[in-house]
Structure 1
Amino acid sequence: MYDYIIVGAGLSGAVFAYEATKRGKTVKVIDKRNHIGGNIYCESIEGINVHKYGAHIFHTSNKRIWDYVNQFATFNHYINSPVANYQGKLYNLPFNMNTFYAMWGTKTPQEVREKIAEQTQHLQGIEPKNLEEQALKLIGKDVYELLIKGYTEKQWGRSATDLPPFIIKRLPVRFTFDNNYFNDRYQGIPEGGYNVIIEKMLEGIEVELGVDFFEKKSKWENQAKKVVFTGMIDQYFDYKHGELDYRGLHFEHEVLDIDNFQGNAVVNYTEREVPYTRIIEHKHFEFGRQEKTVITREYPADWQKGEEPYYPINDAENNAIFAKYAKEAEAIQDRVIFCGRLADYKYYDMHLVIERALAVVEAEFTKS
C-alpha cells in the first residue's frame, strides 16, 4: 500500500512525486509511455538533445519557480528568438523594429506607428466579430496577411474568419530592435536536456513505464491511499459528460549530414500552403557544435481519441463540458487529486505547470 500512486511521469507528476517523497510519503509513478518526462522528454540523437514533442523553452518571471527548477539542472543562457519565413523572406518575431524594417523599410518607431495607424484607422470604431477582424484592427493588413493569417489557420485547422477574436486579443508589438520573444526575466534550456530535471526529481522513486492505468484502474486505485491523476479528466470519468476537444500535432524528425541547417532553433512557416507550422533545429538550443544536425517539422492536426492531445480547445462548449468533470473531481477529492495540463483542461507553459503542481502539493500537505 502506497500513500500515492501518481499517474503520469511528466512535469506535474514528477513535481508531486518529489515533494511527497521529501515529506516521507511512499510513492509510485506509472506512465503509459516507455519514457519519463511526458512532453518535455528529450532523445539523444547524434549527440543532440532532440525535443521529441516540440520545442520547449523554459521562461518565467517568478523567482521562486526559477530557483525551484534550478535545483535540478544548470540552465544555459539560450534566448528564444524565432524567425518567420513567408514565401522565402525572413522576418523576426515577435513583431519588432527588425520585422517592420524587413516589411516596410521603416527605420524609426514613429514611422512604424504611422504605418500601422494608416492600415488600422478605418477599423477603430468596429467591434471585431472574428480573429481576422481583431488582428486587422490591431496590426493592419500587411503583418496580418504575411505573419498571422496562414500560421493561425494551420494551427487551428479552420479559417481565421471562423475563429473567435479573443484568441488574439493582444499582439506583442515592440518599437525596439529586440528579438527576445519572451518578456520574462528568467529564460534558458537545461544543460543536458529536460530529462536531467525529471530524472533528478524521480531519483530513488519507484517508476513503472508502459502501463495503461485504465486497463487495471481499480487495481492501481486499491494500491494507494490516494491517486494523483495527470491524464485526461474526461477519460478518467469514462467520457460520461462527453469528450473534450484538442488540437493534435505530428512530428517529422530528420537527421541531416550537415552541421547547420537554418542557423536558428525555431523558424516558423507562416504561409498556409506550407503544411507544417515550424522547423526546429535542436542543436541551437544548447549551442551545439556536432558534425550533423537534427531537424523536426511540426504539423498541426485534427485530434482523434487515442492520439496524444496537445492544445485544449477552450471554447464555450468544451468549457461547459469540463465544468461538469471538475464538479465530479471535486466530489472525490479525498481519493483522487487532479493536476496538470490534461486534468485541468488548460494549456500551461512549463513554469505554470510547476506553479500549479506546487500549489496542489501545498494544499495537500498543509491540511489540518
Structure 2
Amino acid sequence: MARLQLRNLEKDYGGFKAVHGINLDVNDGEFMVLVGPSGCAKSTTLRMIAGLERVTGGEIRIGDNLVNDKAPGERGIAMVFQNYALYPHMKVRKNLSFGLRLKRRPKDEIEQATRDVSNILEIGDYLERLPKQLSGGQAQRVAVGRALIKKPQVFLFDEPLSNLDAKLRASMRVRITDLHKQLKADGLQSTVVYVTHDQTEAMTMGDRICVMKEGRIMQVADPVTLYNRPANAFVAGFIGSPEMNLLEADLADSTLSIGSQRLPLGSDVMARLSQTAAKRLTLGVRPQHFRVAGSDEAGTLAGKVSHVEFMGHEVYLYVKVEGSQVIAVVPSAQYDRSKISGDTVYLAPQSENIHLFDRVSGENISLAKLD
C-alpha cells in the first residue's frame, strides 16, 4: 500500500513560516498535482516528503509508516528533479542501474530491470550514451527511468518539464500520464506527487489537484470540479486559461451593481447563494461563459473593445468594463462583428455559470446546492 498522508505539516525557517499546518491525503495509485504560483511552498512540501527538508511540525506517513525522522533512502520514495540530476560521467545504462548496484542487487536482476525500464520508456537505443549526448526529452526519460527502476512506494516529481520547450513538454505530459496508467494496470506501485506552477500540466495530468497559496491549501479536487466549482476567488483566478474575470460588485435584492451598471440575477443564481451571503462581492465569469449580445438585451454588461485576437476557432475580445479589463472568448462561428457598435460591446454572462465571492474572505458563496 502506498498511501501518503500529511497531517498538520509545518515548515519554519527561523521565524519565517513557509508551510502552515497543511493536511493532505494522497490515495494509493493516485496522481496528485501540487500547483500554485512561485513561492507558495509546493516544492518545500515535496522536499519534506522526500526527506530533503526537515519537518518543523506535523507528520508524514507513507503507507503505515511515520517517516519524519527517516533518511530519504529509507522512505520508499524516488524523486525526479527539474535539472534531471544525472551523473555526467556515467552512461545511461549505469545511470539507470546505479540505485540497484548501490543496494548490491544480483547482476542478472539489474540487467533485467534495466531492459524492462528502457523498453517502457523507449530509451534502449541510448543505453551507451553519456548524458551530454542526450536531448532534453531523452535526458528526462532517463531521469524517470532511474526513479522507476527502484520500484518505490511513491514517485515525486519536482517541476520535471520546466526546462523543455512547449512541444516537448506536451509530449512528455502524455508519456508520464501514460506511464502512470500502465503501472496501475500492471498492479505496480504508482502513487505520484507532482509539483508544477503550470496549470495546464496540472489540469491535464492530475487525478486530483492541490492548489496552494503562501504555504496553505486553497482547494483539493479533480480538474473538472476545480474549474466549475472553485472554492474561492484565488482558485477561480488561478485555474483556467484565460483566467476567470473578477469584478467588484455590490448585491441589493437580486441585482448586482458593478460601477454604474446593474446586472439582475436570475432565480437560479439567487437559489445557489449561501444563507449568509455577503453584500460586498466579487463577480466571477469565465471568458468562455460570455455571449456577445444585442444592445437591447437585458442582463448584459457594456464595455469598450480595446483589442481583438483571432485564434482560429475562437476570438478573444478584450473589453474595458467599468475600468476593469474583461476577456470574452467567443467561437469564431458565432462572432458577429455587426453586434459591436463602434467599439462598444454588450456581454451577457451565462446565468448558470456565474460565481459570486465574498470580497473579504474570498469564499465562493454561490456553490450552495439546489434542493
Greater Cα radius of gyration, structure 1 or 2: 2
Judge same fold: TM > 0.5, yes or no: no
Structure with greater proportional strand content = 2
What's the TM-score once normalised by structure 2's chain length? 0.22
Higher relative contact order by CA 8 Å / sep ≥ 6: 1 or 2? Answer: 1
Structure with bigger helix share is 1
